[in-house]
Copies of this chain bind each other. A is one copy, B any other.
Protein backbone atom coordinates (compact mmCIF):
# COMPACT_ATOMS: atom_id res chain seq x y z
CA UNK A 1 0.00 0.00 0.00
CA UNK A 2 1.28 3.40 -0.96
CA UNK A 3 0.75 6.03 1.71
CA UNK A 4 1.56 9.31 0.03
CA UNK A 5 -1.08 11.43 -1.63
CA UNK A 6 -0.12 10.47 -5.18
CA UNK A 7 2.37 8.44 -7.09
CA UNK A 8 4.30 11.09 -9.00
CA UNK A 9 3.77 11.31 -12.75
CA UNK A 10 7.37 10.24 -13.29
CA UNK A 11 6.98 7.20 -11.06
CA UNK A 12 3.76 6.27 -12.83
CA UNK A 13 5.37 6.65 -16.22
CA UNK A 14 8.49 4.73 -15.30
CA UNK A 15 6.37 1.86 -14.07
CA UNK A 16 4.30 1.73 -17.25
CA UNK A 17 6.60 3.03 -19.95
CA UNK A 18 6.99 -0.18 -21.94
CA UNK A 19 3.70 0.06 -23.87
CA UNK A 20 4.56 3.67 -24.70
CA UNK A 21 7.89 2.74 -26.26
CA UNK A 22 6.51 -0.30 -28.07
CA UNK A 23 3.62 1.90 -29.26
CA UNK A 24 6.09 4.41 -30.68
CA UNK A 25 8.03 1.70 -32.51
CA UNK A 26 4.90 0.01 -33.84
CA UNK A 27 3.23 3.16 -35.09
CA UNK A 28 6.55 4.38 -36.43
CA UNK A 29 6.82 1.26 -38.55
CA UNK A 30 3.23 1.58 -39.76
CA UNK A 31 3.71 5.23 -40.71
CA UNK A 32 6.97 4.51 -42.45
CA UNK A 33 5.48 1.69 -44.53
CA UNK A 34 2.54 3.90 -45.38
CA UNK A 35 4.76 6.77 -46.49
CA UNK A 36 7.04 4.51 -48.51
CA UNK A 37 4.47 2.29 -50.16
CA UNK A 38 1.36 4.50 -50.23
CA UNK A 39 -0.68 1.30 -49.88
CA UNK A 40 -4.32 1.95 -48.93
CA UNK A 41 -4.27 -0.10 -45.74
CA UNK A 42 -5.49 2.63 -43.39
CA UNK A 43 -8.82 2.20 -41.61
CA UNK A 44 -11.62 4.65 -40.82
CA UNK A 45 -11.55 5.94 -37.25
CA UNK A 46 -15.28 5.83 -36.42
CA UNK A 47 -15.55 2.03 -36.02
CA UNK A 48 -12.27 1.99 -34.13
CA UNK A 49 -13.72 4.43 -31.63
CA UNK A 50 -16.66 2.06 -30.99
CA UNK A 51 -14.13 -0.67 -30.23
CA UNK A 52 -12.27 1.79 -28.03
CA UNK A 53 -15.39 2.53 -26.00
CA UNK A 54 -16.11 -1.19 -25.64
CA UNK A 55 -12.53 -1.75 -24.49
CA UNK A 56 -12.82 1.12 -22.01
CA UNK A 57 -15.95 -0.53 -20.58
CA UNK A 58 -14.16 -3.80 -20.25
CA UNK A 59 -11.11 -2.29 -18.59
CA UNK A 60 -13.43 -0.35 -16.31
CA UNK A 61 -15.11 -3.59 -15.32
CA UNK A 62 -11.73 -5.20 -14.65
CA UNK A 63 -10.50 -2.25 -12.57
CA UNK A 64 -13.73 -2.28 -10.63
CA UNK A 65 -13.47 -5.98 -9.85
CA UNK A 66 -9.84 -5.64 -8.82
CA UNK A 67 -10.75 -2.78 -6.53
CA UNK A 68 -13.54 -4.87 -4.99
CA UNK A 69 -11.12 -7.72 -4.34
CA UNK A 70 -8.65 -5.39 -2.63
CA UNK A 71 -11.35 -3.74 -0.59
CA UNK A 72 -12.87 -7.05 0.46
CA UNK A 73 -9.42 -8.28 1.48
CA UNK A 74 -9.02 -5.17 3.63
CA UNK A 75 -12.44 -5.72 5.17
CA UNK A 76 -11.54 -9.28 6.11
CA UNK A 77 -8.34 -8.15 7.77
CA UNK A 78 -10.29 -5.39 9.51
CA UNK A 79 -12.54 -8.14 10.85
CA UNK A 80 -9.45 -10.05 12.01
CA UNK A 81 -8.50 -6.98 14.03
CA UNK A 82 -11.96 -6.77 15.59
CA UNK A 83 -12.34 -10.46 16.29
CA UNK A 84 -8.86 -10.59 17.80
CA UNK A 85 -9.84 -7.91 20.26
CA UNK A 86 -13.07 -9.77 21.02
CA UNK A 87 -11.20 -13.02 21.53
CA UNK A 88 -8.60 -11.43 23.81
CA UNK A 89 -11.23 -9.65 25.87
CA UNK A 90 -13.26 -12.83 26.21
CA UNK A 91 -10.25 -14.84 27.31
CA UNK A 92 -9.29 -12.15 29.81
CA UNK A 93 -12.70 -11.68 31.43
CA UNK A 94 -14.61 -14.94 31.14
CA UNK A 95 -12.50 -17.56 32.85
CA UNK A 96 -13.43 -18.06 36.43
CA UNK A 97 -12.11 -19.89 39.39
CA UNK A 98 -13.67 -20.19 42.78
CA UNK A 99 -10.52 -20.68 44.75
CA UNK A 100 -8.61 -17.78 43.27
CA UNK A 101 -6.01 -19.77 41.34
CA UNK A 102 -3.95 -17.60 39.07
CA UNK A 103 -5.00 -18.20 35.50
CA UNK A 104 -2.61 -15.67 34.06
CA UNK A 105 -0.36 -18.16 32.32
CA UNK A 106 -3.31 -19.88 30.67
CA UNK A 107 -4.69 -16.59 29.40
CA UNK A 108 -1.34 -15.45 28.08
CA UNK A 109 -0.75 -18.72 26.30
CA UNK A 110 -4.12 -18.51 24.54
CA UNK A 111 -3.45 -14.97 23.41
CA UNK A 112 0.07 -15.83 22.27
CA UNK A 113 -1.21 -18.76 20.22
CA UNK A 114 -3.78 -16.41 18.70
CA UNK A 115 -0.96 -14.10 17.59
CA UNK A 116 0.84 -17.12 16.16
CA UNK A 117 -2.30 -17.91 14.14
CA UNK A 118 -2.33 -14.43 12.59
CA UNK A 119 1.36 -14.66 11.70
CA UNK A 120 0.95 -18.12 10.19
CA UNK A 121 -2.06 -16.98 8.20
CA UNK A 122 -0.25 -13.89 6.91
CA UNK A 123 2.65 -16.05 5.87
CA UNK A 124 0.44 -18.60 4.07
CA UNK A 125 -1.33 -15.81 2.19
CA UNK A 126 1.91 -14.55 0.68
CA UNK A 127 3.12 -17.83 -0.81
CA UNK A 128 3.21 -17.16 -4.59
CA UNK A 129 0.47 -18.46 -6.90
CA UNK A 130 0.80 -19.31 -10.59
CA UNK A 131 -1.35 -16.33 -11.68
CA UNK A 132 0.38 -13.74 -9.53
CA UNK A 133 3.25 -11.35 -10.21
CA UNK A 134 6.10 -13.05 -8.46
CA UNK A 135 8.22 -10.85 -6.24
CA UNK A 136 10.93 -12.26 -4.03
CA UNK A 137 13.04 -10.43 -1.46
CA UNK A 138 15.65 -9.42 -4.10
CA UNK A 139 13.04 -7.48 -6.09
CA UNK A 140 11.59 -5.63 -3.13
CA UNK A 141 14.17 -2.85 -3.25
CA UNK A 142 11.92 -0.14 -1.86
CA UNK A 143 11.04 -2.06 1.32
CA UNK A 144 14.34 -3.52 2.60
CA UNK A 145 13.05 -4.06 6.14
CA UNK A 146 10.15 -6.14 4.87
CA UNK A 147 12.47 -8.14 2.59
CA UNK A 148 14.70 -8.88 5.58
CA UNK A 149 11.86 -10.27 7.63
CA UNK A 150 10.75 -12.36 4.67
CA UNK A 151 14.22 -13.82 4.47
CA UNK A 152 14.14 -14.84 8.12
CA UNK A 153 11.25 -17.18 7.50
CA UNK A 154 8.12 -18.10 9.39
CA UNK A 155 9.63 -20.22 12.16
CA UNK A 156 11.62 -17.36 13.59
CA UNK A 157 8.52 -15.22 13.98
CA UNK A 158 6.43 -18.05 15.38
CA UNK A 159 9.06 -19.04 17.93
CA UNK A 160 8.25 -15.86 19.84
CA UNK A 161 4.72 -17.10 20.52
CA UNK A 162 4.87 -20.90 20.41
CA UNK A 163 7.07 -23.42 22.17
CA UNK A 164 9.38 -25.47 19.99
CA UNK A 165 7.52 -28.67 20.87
CA UNK A 166 4.17 -27.32 19.80
CA UNK A 167 5.66 -25.92 16.62
CA UNK A 168 7.13 -29.30 15.77
CA UNK A 169 3.81 -31.04 16.29
CA UNK A 170 2.37 -29.18 13.27
CA UNK A 171 5.17 -30.09 10.88
CA UNK A 172 3.22 -32.52 8.71
CA UNK A 173 -0.02 -30.62 8.57
CA UNK A 174 -0.93 -28.98 5.28
CA UNK A 175 -2.85 -26.04 6.77
CA UNK A 176 -1.06 -24.63 9.81
CA UNK A 177 -3.52 -21.80 10.69
CA UNK A 178 -6.43 -24.23 10.59
CA UNK A 179 -4.66 -26.63 12.95
CA UNK A 180 -3.79 -23.77 15.31
CA UNK A 181 -7.45 -22.86 15.67
CA UNK A 182 -8.29 -26.50 16.30
CA UNK A 183 -5.63 -26.46 19.04
CA UNK A 184 -7.27 -23.37 20.58
CA UNK A 185 -10.61 -25.23 20.64
CA UNK A 186 -8.98 -28.14 22.42
CA UNK A 187 -7.39 -25.84 25.01
CA UNK A 188 -10.77 -24.25 25.65
CA UNK A 189 -12.34 -27.69 25.97
CA UNK A 190 -9.71 -28.44 28.61
CA UNK A 191 -10.71 -25.29 30.49
CA UNK A 192 -14.31 -26.45 30.36
CA UNK A 193 -13.41 -29.85 31.66
CA UNK A 194 -11.57 -28.21 34.55
CA UNK A 195 -14.76 -26.13 35.19
CA UNK A 196 -12.92 -22.90 34.56
CA UNK A 197 -15.58 -21.86 32.09
CA UNK A 198 -19.34 -22.41 32.01
CA UNK A 199 -21.22 -24.40 29.37
CA UNK A 200 -22.62 -21.29 27.77
CA UNK A 201 -19.36 -19.40 27.74
CA UNK A 202 -17.67 -22.42 26.22
CA UNK A 203 -20.01 -22.08 23.26
CA UNK A 204 -19.47 -18.33 23.04
CA UNK A 205 -15.70 -18.82 22.82
CA UNK A 206 -16.29 -21.47 20.20
CA UNK A 207 -18.38 -18.99 18.25
CA UNK A 208 -15.56 -16.45 18.31
CA UNK A 209 -13.24 -19.14 16.98
CA UNK A 210 -15.87 -19.73 14.31
CA UNK A 211 -15.49 -16.07 13.32
CA UNK A 212 -11.74 -16.59 13.06
CA UNK A 213 -12.30 -19.64 10.85
CA UNK A 214 -14.50 -17.44 8.67
CA UNK A 215 -11.86 -14.74 8.41
CA UNK A 216 -9.18 -17.27 7.56
CA UNK A 217 -11.36 -18.99 4.98
CA UNK A 218 -12.36 -15.73 3.34
CA UNK A 219 -8.72 -14.66 3.04
CA UNK A 220 -7.88 -18.04 1.51
CA UNK A 221 -10.76 -17.66 -0.93
CA UNK A 222 -9.39 -14.39 -2.30
CA UNK A 223 -5.90 -15.86 -2.38
CA UNK A 224 -6.85 -19.12 -4.09
CA UNK A 225 -9.42 -17.87 -6.57
CA UNK A 226 -8.08 -15.24 -8.95
CA UNK A 227 -10.11 -12.83 -11.00
CA UNK A 228 -11.34 -15.44 -13.52
CA UNK A 229 -8.59 -15.67 -16.11
CA UNK A 230 -11.01 -15.64 -19.05
CA UNK A 231 -12.04 -12.08 -18.09
CA UNK A 232 -8.47 -10.96 -17.50
CA UNK A 233 -7.30 -12.50 -20.76
CA UNK A 234 -10.06 -11.06 -22.93
CA UNK A 235 -9.46 -7.60 -21.47
CA UNK A 236 -5.80 -7.93 -22.38
CA UNK A 237 -6.31 -9.23 -25.93
CA UNK A 238 -9.08 -6.75 -26.71
CA UNK A 239 -6.74 -4.03 -25.61
CA UNK A 240 -4.00 -5.36 -27.90
CA UNK A 241 -6.37 -5.46 -30.88
CA UNK A 242 -7.60 -1.94 -30.21
CA UNK A 243 -4.07 -0.61 -29.84
CA UNK A 244 -3.00 -2.36 -33.02
CA UNK A 245 -5.73 -0.51 -34.90
CA UNK A 246 -4.94 2.93 -33.49
CA UNK A 247 -2.15 4.01 -35.89
CA UNK A 248 -4.10 2.65 -38.87
CA UNK A 249 -7.03 4.84 -37.89
CA UNK A 250 -4.97 7.90 -37.04
CA UNK A 251 -3.15 7.72 -40.37
CA UNK A 252 -6.48 7.90 -42.15
CA UNK A 253 -7.47 11.05 -40.23
CA UNK A 254 -4.11 12.71 -40.72
CA UNK A 255 -4.04 12.02 -44.45
CA UNK A 256 -7.55 13.33 -44.96
CA UNK A 257 -6.76 16.66 -43.37
CA UNK A 258 -4.68 19.33 -45.03
CA UNK A 259 -3.85 20.97 -41.77
CA UNK A 260 -2.35 18.06 -39.93
CA UNK A 261 1.16 16.75 -40.00
CA UNK A 262 1.21 13.03 -40.72
CA UNK A 263 4.22 12.22 -38.48
CA UNK A 264 2.17 13.30 -35.45
CA UNK A 265 0.62 9.83 -35.81
CA UNK A 266 3.61 8.38 -34.00
CA UNK A 267 3.64 10.25 -30.68
CA UNK A 268 -0.15 10.45 -30.59
CA UNK A 269 -0.50 6.67 -31.08
CA UNK A 270 2.12 6.11 -28.40
CA UNK A 271 0.19 8.29 -26.00
CA UNK A 272 -3.19 6.61 -26.53
CA UNK A 273 -1.64 3.15 -26.36
CA UNK A 274 0.11 4.12 -23.14
CA UNK A 275 -3.11 5.37 -21.53
CA UNK A 276 -5.06 2.22 -22.36
CA UNK A 277 -2.29 -0.09 -21.18
CA UNK A 278 -1.91 1.99 -18.04
CA UNK A 279 -5.60 1.39 -17.27
CA UNK A 280 -5.10 -2.32 -17.95
CA UNK A 281 -2.00 -2.52 -15.79
CA UNK A 282 -3.55 -0.79 -12.80
CA UNK A 283 -6.27 -3.41 -12.66
CA UNK A 284 -3.75 -6.17 -13.22
CA UNK A 285 -1.55 -5.06 -10.32
CA UNK A 286 -4.43 -4.61 -7.89
CA UNK A 287 -6.28 -7.88 -8.37
CA UNK A 288 -4.20 -10.04 -6.02
CA UNK A 289 -4.14 -8.20 -2.70
CA UNK A 290 -1.90 -10.80 -1.01
CA UNK A 291 0.83 -11.30 -3.62
CA UNK A 292 3.56 -9.66 -1.54
CA UNK A 293 3.79 -6.70 -3.85
CA UNK A 294 3.80 -2.93 -3.29
CA UNK A 295 0.04 -2.56 -3.79
CA UNK A 296 -0.81 -5.32 -1.29
CA UNK A 297 -3.18 -4.90 1.57
CA UNK A 298 -0.63 -4.18 4.34
CA UNK A 299 -1.13 -7.38 6.31
CA UNK A 300 2.31 -7.31 7.87
CA UNK A 301 1.56 -3.93 9.36
CA UNK A 302 -1.93 -4.97 10.48
CA UNK A 303 -0.51 -8.07 12.13
CA UNK A 304 1.96 -5.92 14.02
CA UNK A 305 -0.78 -3.53 15.14
CA UNK A 306 -2.75 -6.46 16.56
CA UNK A 307 0.35 -7.72 18.34
CA UNK A 308 0.83 -4.32 19.97
CA UNK A 309 -2.81 -3.94 20.92
CA UNK A 310 -3.21 -7.38 22.47
CA UNK A 311 0.12 -7.38 24.24
CA UNK A 312 -0.70 -4.01 25.77
CA UNK A 313 -3.97 -5.53 26.96
CA UNK A 314 -2.03 -8.13 28.95
CA UNK A 315 0.51 -5.52 30.06
CA UNK A 316 3.26 -7.38 28.28
CA UNK A 317 6.78 -6.02 28.27
CA UNK A 318 8.94 -5.31 25.24
CA UNK A 319 6.03 -4.41 23.00
CA UNK A 320 7.28 -4.51 19.37
CA UNK A 321 7.34 -1.29 17.32
CA UNK A 322 4.79 -0.49 14.61
CA UNK A 323 5.74 -1.58 11.11
CA UNK A 324 7.74 1.14 9.35
CA UNK A 325 6.65 3.02 6.22
CA UNK A 326 9.52 2.57 3.77
CA UNK A 327 9.78 4.97 0.83
CA UNK A 328 6.07 5.60 1.15
CA UNK A 329 5.17 1.91 1.13
CA UNK A 330 3.53 0.04 3.97
CA UNK A 331 3.53 -3.75 3.70
Contacts and interface: CB of A to CB of B under 8 A. Distances in A.
Interface of A: 1-7, 9, 12, 40-47, 49-54, 56-61, 63-65, 67, 70, 74-75, 78-79, 81-82, 85-86, 88-90, 92-94, 96, 129-131, 172-175, 178-179, 181-182, 185-186, 188-189, 193, 198-204, 206-207, 209-210, 213-214, 216-218, 220-221, 225-226, 228-234, 236-238, 240-241, 245-246, 249-250, 252-257, 259-261, 264, 268, 271-272, 275-276, 278-279, 282, 285-286, 295, 297, 308-309, 312-313, 322, 325
A12 B241 CA distance: 13
B58 A57 contact: no
Nearest to A56: B54
How many identical subunits does the complex contain? 5
Contacts of A82: 210, 213-214, 216-218
B47 A50 contact: no
Contacts of A43: 260, 264, 268
Given A213-B86, A238-B278, A312-B179, A3 B229 contact: yes
Nearest to A222: B78
Nearest to A38: B259
B182 A89 contact: yes
Given A1-B228, A7-B230, A261-B40, A93 B282 contact: no
A7 B44 contact: no
B182 A220 contact: no
A45 B63 CA distance: 26
A79 to B, nearest CB: 7
